[in-house]
Amino acid sequence: MQPFKTLTGIAAPLPMSNVDTDAIIPKQHLKTIKRTGLGQALFEELRYFPDGQERPDFVLNQPKYRQAQILLAGANFGCGSSREHAPWALLDFGIRCVIAPSFADIFYNNCFSNGILPIVLPQEEIDALMQEAQTALDPTFTVDLERNVIVRPQGNRELPFEIDAFGRHRLLEGLDSVGLTLTKGKAIDGFEGKQRLGQPWLYPAA
């Protein structure tokens, strides 16, 4: 997993509450176990008309936000089913940070497992960030996880944020679930060595 330390990118405002995981990535795209190719279907029903043409009023279809790497969202983002395809789709599109007043718990934890930084801020601060993203000629924000601050585009003002310490560690070190397990490699090897001596029948010869 790619470590997350500092991200400088376009922020796209999506002022919608209760955006569920089916809105993020519709159920018909859950057949794959690959993490690539899902970005095209991100927010499919919001981004496209039934005939496949883009909806020009949707934020990610607007020229200013097509290359967005930061998403400013409403409350309870990622509610609904627990599908891990939701953060996969965001990441494949290029979104590496979602800032919202609140997240669904499972989606929030899935973000840390997939290299996406979920930041919780009060609604009034989200509103201010959305306003800046809408009015700034260049809505480029910097999210600095090493210092726990967001640098805003107008006047380089800094906004501090709090983040789960364990999740922060995982992102800074680029540790997904497999990576976390491998950090315990010596302990696992030691356990297996003792078990092999005491219970050799568990390790039949190849």
pLDDT for 157: 84
pLDDT for 139: 95
CA distance 20 to 9: 24
Beta strand pairing call for 158-160 and 149-151? antiparallel
Parse the chain into domains and list their residue ranges: 6-199
Q: Give pLDDT tens digits for 74-115.
A: 999 999 988 899 999 999 999 999 999 999 999 999 999 999
What is this structure's pTM?
0.87
Task: Judge whether 12 and 59 are in contact, CB under 8 Å.
Answer: yes
| Residue 31 dihedral angles phi and psi, to the nearest 5° | -75, -25
CA distance 64 to 54: 15
Task: Judge whether 121 and 70 are in contact, CB under 8 Å.
Answer: no
Q: Mark the ranges of the chain whose per-residue pLDDT is less than 70.
A: 155, 178-185, 206
First-to-last C-alpha distance (Å) of the chain: 33
User: Which CATH number is 6-199 given?
Assistant: 3.20.19.10
CA distance 60 to 47: 7
